[in-house]
Amino acid sequence: IHPSLTPQAKLVIGGLSKSLGCSGTFDLTEVYDQLLNNKRRTEGEPRNRLLKSVREILRLVHAFAGAQKQAKQIMEVKFGHIDEVFCRKGVKQLDRMFLDAIGVAGRVMSVEDGIGDYISSRWKYLNWNSYEVGLLFRTRFNELAKFSLALLLTRQVRVSRTLIMRPQINWCERFSILPRAGETLMKDDFVNCLKKVSRSKDFCSDKKILILGSLISGPGHPFTVSQEVELYNEYVDRIIEKHRVAAHQIWYKHHPRITKEVWAYKKCELHCEVYDYSIETIAELEIINPHVLAVYSVGTSALLYAKMIFGKQAYLIDLSSFPRVHPSAHRKYKYLADRYGV
């Protein structure tokens, strides 16, 4: 289970895994927290950037070794020998740490992690996005500089590479829900899983339109919560006119990492129905509701699934021309929406 998920999201994962017949879920968040706490420690930090980097690397290397050892011991006791591992395609240092801890000698396979997996690595060049191109070069330069420093300080090649460099995994097989060249299509398996977990679900006949929320407000995001609500309320008015539905037939589903305080504000201020904060469901289980006519979103893979798999009307809430938005993310969403006919 990814450590940044909320307790409520973890409950949803646990419930779905049980419905699918899994033996259970396993949460190693406390292992990751060791690394996170060491990374965020700022008290008594030197002001010099080089000295600060030296202390951070030495601290992280020590914490990494301890966290990986702990993870390995726990998994050996819990699982024993592991034959196959499925991991998100956009693998990060966190994933690599656990993969190395597993030490799997068997098959390691990738599954898609979200809408970004449908963007080609060449998109930044073919559509020339100067932010993405510049970010790539800055990231690679910083990685090389930090790796060299870590290697000089620790003499540990493997640990330095895992901590600093972007992980490279030799996948035995790649899986995707929508067709992609060189990847195994798992659309039918995906649909069958949704049918399996929805057998006992009562579909609400008064849910006609879904708005799938994203993380676009708050610190580090282009909108305040009130501005986000204002944006969605404008779309509610448009939806009522376009689809000839009532406000109570439009349902907003919050992002699984939203805070309860933000949810409460939206519950009060949005001019449509809002899912309960503790709702134990995922967007796809709501989309397959036969009464749902259309799905709206700022950008999510569920929007593509709604169109390409479930035959629903799908609409992108296009933020690509808004000021202060991410310089590439929403342009990617617009590109995919055009490509898939959303």
Among 15-24, 98-107, 133-142, 185-194, name the one with the lowest average pLDDT: 98-107
Q: pLDDT tens digits, residue range 245-259?
A: 999 999 999 988 888
Task: Output the six-digit token pair for 146.
Answer: 């930090």
Q: pLDDT tens digits, residue range 33-75?
A: 766 665 545 445 556 666 777 777 777 777 777 777 888 888 8
71 class by beta-carbon count within 10 Å (0-12 exposed, 13-18 middle, 19+ buried): buried
Q: pLDDT tens digits, residue range 92-113?
A: 877 877 887 777 656 889 998 8
- Give the mean pLDDT of the chain: 85
State the pLDDT at residue 292: 94
Q: pLDDT tens digits, residue range 270-329?
A: 999 999 988 878 899 999 999 999 999 998 999 999 999 999 999 999 888 787 787 788
SS3 198: coil
Within 10 angstroms of residue 117's Cβ, the number of other Cβ atoms is: 19
For the whole model, what pTM was predicted?
0.84
Angle, alpha carbons 21-95-78 (nearest 5°): 50
Would you say residue 260 has pLDDT above 70? Answer: yes
Within 10 angstroms of residue 309's Cβ, the number of other Cβ atoms is: 19
Angle, alpha carbons 293-299-303 (nearest 5°): 30
Question: What would the DSSP string read from start to end of 221-263?
Answer: SSB-HHHHHHHHHHHHHHHHHHHT--GGGEEEE--TT--HHHH
CA atoms within 13 A on the CB side of 54: 8
Q: How far apart (Å, rounded) are the C-alpha atoms in residues 109 and 174?
A: 6
